[in-house]
C-alpha cells in the first residue's frame, strides 16, 4: 500500500514505520493515524516481520496534532454514536493488540500525540535532544490514545499526575529517570541503537513466547487479583510438553548454539488465551 504521511519498509525481519511529514515536523494528521494503524496491522499479519521500529523523519519525532485545520475531522455526538474513534486511539489500540514487539526511536520534540502514541511500545529509545510533553491542560483539551491508562503503568501515578496536570515539557534525562525511555543516545546514533536491539530480539527470542508475554503483562497486571494469572500460567506451563519451541530452547542451550524456533504467531498461539477472539 502507498502511504502519504508515513513511510513503511521491511528489512532483516524488521518493519520500519517512519512518520514522514518533516516539513511540518511530523505534525499528526488523520491520514497519518489511519496509515499507521494500517501499517501496524500489516506488520502484525506478516510472519516475515518479527519487530517493528517506529521513528520520525527529520529532527523531530512529532510535535503533536496538526492544528492547521486541513487534516482535522469534524466530530460531534452523532459521529460518536456511529462508532467514531479519535485518531490517536486508532494507532495505540492497534499497537496494544500487536503480537510483536515495538521499538520507538524518538528524537527532538515528542509532544501531545507525539508522547501518547509511543506509550504502548515495548521499548522507547530517545536521543539526548528529545523532549516530551503531555500538554493537554495547557491547550484546554484532554489526553487521548488511552494515555491515562498507559502512562501511570509506566511511570507511576504520582509522576503521571505531575506531567499531565502541569502539561510541562519533560527533558530527556527526566524521562530516562522516570522509566518513560529505556536509554538515551546521541541523535545520529539513535536509529543504530534501535536496530541493534531489534536484531537481538529477532535472533534470540521465540515469536510465540514474545506474543504471549507481551499481552499477558498488559492484561494480567491490570486485574485486581493475581488469581487469573495463576490459572493462565498453569495452563501455559502444562502445555510445554507439546511445545516444539520449548524443546528447541533447551536443546540450543545445551548444545551452545543459536536457537531456531519453529512455531509461528499466525498458527501456534495457545488456543486458550483469554484475550483471543472466539470463533463460533
pLDDT digits (tens, 9 = 90+) for 103-137: 999 999 999 999 999 999 999 999 999 999 999 99
Domain extent for 233: 205-268
Do 12 and 144 share a domain, yes or no?
yes
Position 251 scores a pLDDT of: 94
Is the pLDDT assigned to residue 79 strictly greater than 80? no
CATH of the domain at 67: 3.90.226.10
Residue 273 resides in a domain:
no
280 in a domain, yes or no?
Answer: no
> Does residue 186 form part of some domain?
yes
**Span 21-69, pLDDT tens digits:** 999 999 999 999 999 999 999 999 999 999 999 999 999 999 999 987 5
Cell of 152: 501511570
C-alpha cell at 48: 516475515
72/121 same-domain check: yes
Q: Which residue, of 180, 202, 224, is where some domain finishes?
A: 202
Query: Out of 75-84, 117-126, 192-201, 254-263, which region has the weakest mean confidence (pLDDT)?
Result: 75-84
Q: 16 and 148: one domain?
A: yes
**pLDDT tier at 78, thresholds 50, 70, 90:** low
Give yes or no for residue 70 having a pLDDT over 70.
no
Both 70 and 144 in one domain: the answer is yes
In a domain, 279, yes or no: no
Tell whether pTM > 0.85: yes
Q: What is the mean pLDDT of residues 134-163?
A: 96
Is 278 a member of any domain?
A: no
Same domain, 48 and 187: yes
One domain, residues 198 and 211: no
Q: Are residues 113 and 159 in the same domain?
A: yes
- Domain boundary residue, one of 153, 177, 202: 202
Q: What pLDDT is stored for residue 74 in this prediction?
A: 58
Q: Are residues 25 and 78 in the same domain?
A: yes
Same domain, 184 and 168: yes
Q: How many domains does the chain have?
A: 2
Residue 45 domain flag: yes
Same domain, 170 and 219: no
Given a cut of 90, is residue 76 above it in pLDDT?
no
Residues 250 and 180 occupy one common structural domain: no
pLDDT at 280 over 50: no
For residue 194, tell me if it sits in a domain. Answer: yes
Residue 25 lies in a domain: yes
pLDDT of residue 222: 85
Confidence bin at 5 (pLDDT 50/70/90) = very high
Domain boundary among 172, 202, 232: 202
Residues 55 and 121 in one domain: yes
Amino acid at each position: 500500500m502507498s502511504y502519504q504521511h508515513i513511510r513503511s519498509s521491511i528489512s532483516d525481519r524488521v518493519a520500519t514505520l517512519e512518520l514522514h511529514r518533516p516539513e511540518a515536523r511530523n505534525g499528526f494528521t488523520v491520514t497519518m493515524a489511519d496509515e499507521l494503524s494500517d501499517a501496524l496491522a500489516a506488520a502484525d499479519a506478516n510472519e516475515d516481520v518479527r519487530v517493528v521500529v517506529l521513528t520520525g523523519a527529520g529532527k523531530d519525532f512529532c510535535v503533536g496534532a496538526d492544528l492547521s485545520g486541513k487534516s482535522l475531522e469534524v466530530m460531534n455526538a452523532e459521529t460518536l454514536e456511529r462508532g467514531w474513534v479519535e485518531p490517536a486511539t486508532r494507532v495505540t489500540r492497534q499497537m496494544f493488540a500487536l503480537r510483536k514487539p515495538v521499538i520507538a526511536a524518538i528524537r527532538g520534540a515528542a509532544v501531545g500525540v507525539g508522547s501518547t502514541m509511543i506509550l504502548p511500545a515495548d521499548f522507547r529509545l530517545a536521543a539526548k535532544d528529545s523532549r516530551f510533553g503531555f500538554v493537554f491542560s495547557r491547550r484546554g483539551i484532554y489526553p487521548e490514545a488511552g494515555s491515562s491508562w498507559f502512562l501511570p503503568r509506566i511511570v507511576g501515578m504520582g509522576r503521571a499526575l505531575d506531567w499531565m496536570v502541569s502539561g510541562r515539557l519533560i527533558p530527556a534525562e527526566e524521562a530516562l529517570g522516570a522509566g518513560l525511555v529505556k536509554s538515551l543516545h546521541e541523535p545520529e546514533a539513535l536509529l543504530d541503537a534501535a536496530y541493534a536491539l531489534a536484531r537481538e530480539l529477532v535472533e534470540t527470542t521465540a515469536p510465540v513466547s514474545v506474543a504471549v508475554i507481551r499481552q499477558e503483562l498488559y492484561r494480567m497486571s491490570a486485574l485486581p487479583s493475581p488469581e487469573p494469572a495463576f490459572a493462565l500460567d498453569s495452563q501455559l506451563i502444562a502445555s510445554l510438553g507439546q511445545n516444539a519451541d520449548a524443546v528447541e530452547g533447551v536443546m540450543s542451550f545445551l548444545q551452545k548454539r543459536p536457537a531456531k524456533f519453529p512455531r509461528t504467531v499466525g498458527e501456534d498461539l495457545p488456543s486458550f488465551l483469554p484475550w483471543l477472539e472466539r470463533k463460533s
